[in-house]
């Protein structure tokens, strides 16, 4: 009795399960302050993100950039908790800002992404 | 990059399993007095340890490439990773430990060692496989991380003993049956392996259930995430391996014990045990890819982390009125300018905007823009929210608009 068909079927099933899976990256931020798409009355003093896993500070960064692409960070990334990091920002003028983040998690995965928020500036 | 990472991860698992499998076969499966086979198995273990160290070096390059945005990593990146990160430290100490283990195995490969010494070698090789837990999803588990890592380490170790031992069992059966001098030699070998495998399976199942609970969390995550689907496939392969194991235990084993001596090793029996070994390799590949996929539980955490909106608390004087878009207005483009008048009352501080029931934005001022609105008819609802960002008040307004 040959078991080749069973083995081949197993390999094909694994490939079929993995093919779409490999298109997905890790999904990361669990809570961001300010949250994605927020419209703020005043400039935030810092950007804080809690991730779904513990984070290594080395090789992780959060950059806040204005519409012209200028970096608006006012300090280095600092750890709040194993899975939470924050970075202070300069006083932000009214406008739209990008939070570009990249983190190395404790299980060796590197992920990145972008969040956006707007400072409206007064009523 | 993900495919390479998955394959390297699988290769690392598999070589660590072969190291443990070789030593476990030498120490627990071979009957006493099989010195030449035992020496050969220890040589294999040394060879697999060397392969493990090389593949781990390749894994470091892959990790460095991830950190360098996909290109070949610089020495500076590799050194920073190894010296300044937790997972890099684990890599370094595992390589040092692996090199020491390799030296130990090389020094013993031509020595006639006792079964007891062989068992100490199995114990010495466990950290090679089990240390993967320190940089696995278990290390990043949000619930019971220490227990998750301990379970993962046990899971990896017993999987290595069983699945890593199968190819070595095949080799020992093929090699040993040609020189066996006692009747039922092959049967005895399979019976000893079967006992070891049964104990491994009991531990595998119990630790596997706990790991699945921690990493997947819900039935929805099991069925709807890539991680859950690969885990289901791994489970199906594991059940097939179990079926082959049961087949070998209940049919192959009695046939081998009853075989008259000298008898060539039956081709059918070899195929059945070989099929179990090949399935084990596929399970290792699935496991390797599981390590690079986000655990299904993460999606649950993300959902759980979202504020539990929907239950409205009394308005206590709060009110909101949408000024723009007007009810029935037609807009062009995917951006919708928003204006509203908010009366905070006692608790309200800002507004949440829902488009067709989906939270699309948070507004602390009375104007803003909703982006990414698709063409079609939409319902926009604004709700007043308290300062904790969690409590939505029974103060809302809704308009309908069309995007063309």
B66-108 pLDDT per residue, tens: 888 778 899 999 999 999 999 999 999 999 999 999 999 999 8
Quick one: average pLDDT of B288-296?
A: 72
3-state DSSP assignment of residue B384: strand
Least Cα separation, residue B84 to chain A (angstroms): 7
pLDDT for residue B59: 93
Kindly indicate the confidence band of residue B357, based on its pLDDT and cuts at 50, 70 and 90. confident
Question: B152 to chain A: which residues are within 8 Å by CB?
Answer: none
Same domain, yes or no: B325 and B276: no
> Closest partner residue to B140 among A22, A50, A106, by Cβ?
A106
Give the pLDDT confidence score for residue A90 in this predicted structure: 94
User: Any alpha helices (H) in B26-144, and if so which ranges?
Assistant: 35-67, 75-84, 86-108, 115-130
How far off is chain B from A74, nearest CA to CA, in Å? 23
**How wide is the angle at C-alpha A58 spanned by C-alphas A54 and A61, nearest 5°?**
85
Mean confidence (pLDDT) of chain B: 83
Distance in angstroms between the alpha carbons of the first and the last residue of chain B: 40
Domains in chain B, number: 2
Query: What was the pLDDT predicted at A13?
Result: 65
Of A3, A35, A110, the CB nearest to B271: A3
Cα distances (angstroms) measured from residue A33 to each of A44, A51, B362, B363: 9, 12, 11, 13
What CATH code is carried by the domain that includes residue B366?
2.60.40.10
Residue A4: pLDDT band with limits 50, 70, 90: low
ipTM of the prediction? 0.77
pLDDT at residue B225 greater than cutoff 50: yes
Q: Domain A26-119, what architecture?
A: Sandwich (2.60)
Distance from CA of B217 to the nearest CA of A (A): 14
Mean pLDDT confidence for B332-336: 83
Q: What is the pLDDT of residue B326?
A: 93
Judgement on whether residues B124 and B82 belong to the same structural domain of the protein: yes
Same domain, yes or no: B105 and B55: yes
Highest average pLDDT, of B219-228, B250-259, B369-378, B385-394, comes from B369-378
Q: The tokens of B47 are what?
A: 């060879």
Tens of pLDDT, residue by residue over A51-104, are 878 889 999 999 999 999 999 999 899 988 788 888 999 999 999 999 999 999
Of B303, B333, B356, the position where a domain reaches its end is B303
CA dihedral angle for residue B244, residue B202, residue B232, residue B66, rounded to 10 degrees: -110
Q: Examine the domain organization and report whether B233 and B132 are in the same domain.
A: yes
B109-156 pLDDT, tens digit per residue, is 888 888 788 889 999 999 988 888 888 777 777 667 788 888 889 998
Per-residue pLDDT, averaged over B273-300, amounts to 74
**Scanning every residue of chain A, which has its alpha carbon at the shortest distance from the alpha carbon of B366?**
A123
**In whole angstroms, what is the distance from residue B324 CA to residue B14 CA?**
61
Residues B326 and B282 in one domain: no
Give the one of B87, B240, B302 whose C-beta lies nearest to A108's C-beta. B87
Is residue B151 situated within a structural domain?
A: yes
Do B143 and B258 lie in one domain? The reply is yes
Domain hosting residue B328, numbered range: 319-403
Tell whether B249 is covered by a domain: yes
pLDDT band of residue B46 (cuts 50, 70, 90) is very high
User: Which residue is closest to B307 within chain A, CA to CA?
Assistant: A31
The CA distance from B198 to B236, in Å, is 18
Pick A27 or B380 by higher pLDDT. Answer: B380
Residue A25 is predicted with a pLDDT of 43
Contacts with B142 from chain A: Cβ below 8 Å: 52-53, 83
Do residues B41 and B146 share a domain?
A: yes
Q: Give residue B264's pLDDT.
A: 64
- Mark yes or no for CB contact A106/B227 under 8 Å: no
pLDDT tens sequence across A6-30: 666 666 666 665 555 544 445 468 7
How much is the pLDDT for B260? 64
Q: Does B236 touch chain A (CB under 8 A)?
A: yes
Q: Do A59 and B360 touch (CB under 8 A)?
A: no
Q: Do A110 and B66 touch (CB under 8 A)?
A: yes
Element (H, E) at B321: strand B319-324
Helices (H), B248-323: 253-258, 267-290, 296-305
A108 with B135: Cβ contact below 8 A: yes
Chain B CB contacts of A41 below 8 Å: 364-365
From B270, B303, B336, give the residue that closes a domain. B303
Same domain, B292 and B367: no
* Helices B2-24 and B35-67, axial angle in degrees (round to 10): 160
Question: A35–B362: do the CB atoms touch at under 8 Å?
Answer: yes
Pick from A38-47, B85-94, B324-333: least confident: A38-47
More confident residue, B311 or B25: B25
**Residue B300: is its pLDDT beyond 80?**
no
- Say what the pLDDT of residue B382 is: 93
All residues of chain B having their beta carbon less than 8 Å from the beta carbon of residue A38 are: 361-364
Residue pLDDT, tens place only, B168-192: 988 888 887 776 666 677 788 888 8
- pLDDT for B181: 62
| Domain final residue, candidates B269, B303, B337 | B303
3-state secondary structure of A85: strand
Instruction: Report the residue of A8, A12, A21 to disrupt the B interface, i.e. the one with the largest count of B CBs within 10 Å.
Output: A21
CB contacts < 8 A, A to B, total: 139
């Amino acid at each position: 009795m040959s078991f080749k068909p069973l083995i081949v079927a197993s390999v094909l099933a694994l490939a079929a399960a993995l093919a779409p899976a490999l298109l997905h990256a890790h999904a990361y931020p669990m809570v961001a302050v300010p949250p994605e798409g927020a419209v703020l009355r005043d400039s935030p003093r810092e950007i804080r993100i809690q991730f779904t896993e513990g984070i290594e500070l080395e090789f992780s960064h959060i950059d806040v950039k204005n519409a012209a692409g200028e970096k608006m960070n006012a300090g280095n990334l600092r750890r709040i908790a194993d899975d939470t990091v924050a970075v202070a920002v300069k006083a932000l003028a009214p406008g739209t800002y990008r939070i570009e983040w990249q983190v190395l998690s404790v299980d060796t995965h590197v992920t990145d992404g972008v969040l956006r928020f707007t400072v409206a500036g007064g009523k | 990059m993900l495919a390479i990472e998955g394959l390297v991860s699988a290769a690392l698992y598999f070589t660590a399993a072969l190291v443990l499998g070789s030593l476990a076969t030498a120490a627990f499966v071979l009957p006493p007095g099989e010195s030449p086979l035992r020496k050969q198995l220890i040589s294999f273990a040394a060879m697999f340890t060397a392969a493990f160290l090389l593949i781990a070096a390749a894994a470091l390059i892959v990790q460095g490439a991830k950190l360098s945005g996909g290109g070949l990593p610089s020495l500076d990146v590799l050194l920073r990773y190894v010296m300044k990160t937790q997972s890099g430290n684990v890599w370094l100490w595992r390589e040092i430990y692996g090199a020491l283990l390799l030296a130990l195995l090389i020094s013993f490969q031509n020595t006639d060692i006792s079964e007891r010494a062989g068992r100490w070698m199995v114990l010495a090789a466990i950290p090679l496989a089990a240390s993967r837990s320190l940089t696995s999803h278990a290390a990043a588990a949000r619930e019971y991380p220490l227990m998750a890592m301990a379970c993962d380490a046990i899971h990896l170790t017993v999987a290595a003993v069983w699945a890593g031992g199968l190819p070595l069992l095949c080799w020992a059966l093929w090699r040993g049956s040609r020189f066996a001098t006692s009747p039922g030699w092959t049967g005895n070998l399979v019976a000893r392996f079967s006992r070891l495998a049964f104990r491994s399976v009991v531990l595998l199942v119990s630790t596997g259930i706990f790991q699945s609970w921690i990493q997947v969390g819900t039935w929805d995550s099991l069925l709807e995430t890539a991680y859950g689907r690969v885990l289901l496939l791994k489970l199906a392969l594991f059940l097939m391996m179990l079926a082959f194991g049961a087949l070998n235990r209940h049919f192959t084993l009695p046939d081998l014990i009853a075989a008259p001596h000298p008898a060539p090793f039956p081709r059918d029996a070899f195929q059945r045990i070989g099929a179990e070994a090949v399935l084990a390799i596929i399970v290792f590949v699935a496991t390797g890819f599981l390590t690079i996929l986000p655990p299904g539980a993460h999606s649950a955490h993300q959902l759980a982390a979202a504020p539990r909106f929907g239950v409205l608390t009394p308005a206590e004087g709060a009110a909101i009125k949408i000024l723009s878009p007007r009810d029935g207005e037609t807009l062009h483009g995917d951006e919708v300018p928003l204006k509203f008048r908010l009366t905070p009352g006692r608790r309200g501080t800002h507004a949440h905007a829902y488009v067709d029931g989906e939270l699309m934005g948070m507004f602390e001022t009375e104007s803003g823009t909703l982006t990414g609105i698709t063409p079609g008819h939409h319902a926009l609802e604004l709700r007043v929210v308290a300062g904790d960002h969690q409590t939505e008040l029974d103060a809302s307004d809704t308009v309908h608009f069309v995007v063309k």
